């Protein structure tokens, strides 16, 4: 029951999280600001939702994570659902900062609960189920946001908040979940940046930087080639839904084939597939198939890395979950602004090719990680 509720909340949390980007033109008109100013909304939410996840993990390792897993999505839903209700732009910035921290609390506590309560031989399956539900929510977010704003206006988005309220109330009706092990302290967090967990973090960050840069640059690249917007939207949807499937399959396969085998294997095939995405013309009929396979493969390693980190640090599962989930994407995202300037200066293909070389050190880091010993071994 609990893993299903957490997966439901993950889908809802990430559904609301992906409201901002498609709604930016409407928010610009609502507040009378330009794109640069409106983009601060995305930056504030992304920074608090991603970079604060290790801090959220430290908090979650000291509290009832069931409570935090219910509170987080509620903060996100209330923040995103109220974007049309605030009279001042500065107030909305503060509200979305709080909503982002709610997302950080949920990801750290939710992944920790799933990892601790799942049977060891099925931990990969349940964490991949949890992870893929978030990808599903992200995929549906723009569709739901634009439909609701078109039907009810920005103020009407608030009617969507029960999507988070209902599963949160169900979760709060369950018994409290007692934390296992000693609460994490700042010293424990600092120790994460040494040893195998640090190597996992480095591997995940490099991989995230490569593929975040590719997917974010894709619309700009397509526009340069004169590719229609409809094909761009289709490509992004294919990539998002294949990432959902990949996240589910990766953790499930790791229960049978081993965590490290899946992690190293996805990176081994990732480089040639990534190069294929750069050298095969996007107009080629096979491009969407290649995009789907690459999206599935490269996202398959995400839940596997989270499981490995939890198994390597069983006493601080919320802290390492926060580190291996949003913090990697947030840290990688900090570098995209200078990468964007490089792309404008030197072109899409040269810069993305150079970024592809980062898959090699990511592969070496994955190879150097040791797997936790099984109980009783």
Q: How far is CA 306 from CA 59, 229, 245, 323, 343, in A?
A: 18, 35, 17, 9, 32
Give the model's pLDDT for residue 361. 95
Mind listing the pLDDT tens digit for each residue in 255-265? Answer: 888 889 999 99
In a domain, 50, yes or no: yes
In a domain, 222, yes or no: yes
Mind listing the pLDDT tens digit for each residue in 303-312? Answer: 888 888 878 8
In a domain, 166, yes or no: yes
Give the model's pLDDT for residue 86. 93
Give the model's pLDDT for residue 193. 59
Indicate the residue among 157, 181, 205 that finishes a domain.
181
Indicate the residue among 140, 156, 181 that finishes a domain.
181
In a domain, 192, yes or no: yes
In a domain, 377, yes or no: no
Give the model's pLDDT for residue 377. 38
Give the model's pLDDT for residue 189. 58
Q: Are residues 109 and 227 in the same domain?
A: no
Q: Are residues 294 and 236 in the same domain?
A: yes
Q: Are residues 299 and 356 in the same domain?
A: yes
Q: How far is CA 156 from CA 44, 79, 145, 147, in A?
A: 23, 13, 10, 11
Q: Are residues 46 and 103 in the same domain?
A: yes
Range of the domain at 39: 1-181
Indicate the residue among 160, 181, 202 that finishes a domain.
181
Give the model's pLDDT for residue 72. 92
Q: Are residues 210 and 326 in the same domain?
A: yes
> CA end-to-end span of the chain, whole Å?
30
Q: Are residues 104 and 198 in the same domain?
A: no
| Cα–Cα nearest to 122, from 263, 303, 371 | 303
> Can you give the CATH number for the domain in which 59 is found?
1.20.1250.20
Give the model's pLDDT for residue 376. 41
Q: Are residues 174 and 284 in the same domain?
A: no
In a domain, 255, yes or no: yes
Furthest C-alpha separation in the chain? 63
For the chain, how many structural domains are there in total?
Answer: 2
Q: Are residues 232 and 105 in the same domain?
A: no
State pTM to two decimals.
Answer: 0.71
With a cut of 70, which residues of the chain have pLDDT below it? 1, 35-36, 61, 118, 177-194, 315, 318, 326, 333-334, 336-337, 372-377
Q: Are residues 191 and 151 in the same domain?
A: no
Q: Are residues 69 and 202 in the same domain?
A: no
In a domain, 79, yes or no: yes
Give the model's pLDDT for residue 184. 56
Q: Are residues 243 and 177 in the same domain?
A: no
> CA 254, 331, 51, 237 torsion: positive or negative?
negative
Task: Retrieve residue 120's tokens.
Answer: 């060891």
Q: Is 66 helix (H, G, I), strand (E, B) or coil?
A: helix
**CA-CA distance, 67 to 176, in Å (whole number)?**
8
In a domain, 57, yes or no: yes
Give the model's pLDDT for residue 375. 41
Q: Are residues 175 and 293 in the same domain?
A: no
């Amino acid at each position: 029951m609990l893993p299903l509720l957490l997966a439901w909340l993950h889908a809802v949390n990430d559904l609301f999280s992906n409201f901002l980007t498609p709604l930016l033109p409407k928010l610009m008109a609502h507040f009378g600001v330009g794109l640069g100013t409106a983009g601060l909304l995305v930056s504030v939410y992304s920074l608090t939702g991603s970079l604060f996840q290790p801090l959220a993990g430290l908090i979650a390792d000291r509290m009832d994570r069931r409570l935090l897993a219910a509170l987080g999505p509620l903060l996100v839903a209330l923040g995103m659902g109220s974007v049309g209700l605030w009279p001042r732009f500065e107030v909305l910035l503060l509200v979305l900062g709080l909503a982002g921290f709610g997302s950080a609390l949920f990801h750290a506590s939710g992944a920790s609960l799933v990892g601790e309560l799942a049977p060891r031989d099925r931990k990969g399956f349940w964490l991949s189920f949890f992870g893929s539900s978030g990808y599903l929510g992200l995929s549906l977010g723009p569709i739901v946001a634009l439909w609701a704003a078109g039907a009810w206006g920005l103020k009407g988005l608030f009617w969507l908040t029960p999507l988070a309220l209902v599963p949160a109330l169900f979760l709060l009706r369950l018994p409290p979940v007692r934390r296992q092990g000693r609460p994490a302290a700042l010293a424990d967090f600092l120790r994460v940046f040494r040893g195998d967990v640090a190597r996992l973090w480095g591997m995940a960050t490099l991989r995230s930087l490569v593929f975040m840069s590719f997917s974010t640059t894709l619309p700009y690249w397509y526009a340069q080639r004169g590719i229609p917007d409809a094909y761009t939207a289709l490509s992004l949807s294919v990539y998002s839904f294949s990432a959902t499937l990949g996240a589910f399959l990766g953790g499930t396969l790791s229960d049978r084939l081993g965590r490290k085998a899946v992690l190293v294997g996805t990176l081994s095939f990732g480089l040639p597939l990534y190069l294929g995405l750069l050298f095969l013309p996007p107009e080629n009929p096979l491009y969407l198939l290649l995009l789907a396979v690459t999206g599935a493969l490269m996202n398959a390693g995400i839940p596997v890395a989270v499981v490995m980190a939890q198994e390597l640090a069983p006493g601080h599962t919320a802290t390492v979950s926060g580190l291996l989930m949003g913090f990697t994407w947030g840290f990688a995202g900090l570098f995209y602004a200078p990468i964007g300037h490089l792309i404008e200066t030197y072109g899409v293909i040269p810069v993305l090719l150079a970024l592809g070389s980062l898959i090699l050190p990511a592969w070496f880091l994955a190879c150097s990680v040791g797997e936790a010993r099984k109980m009783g071994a």
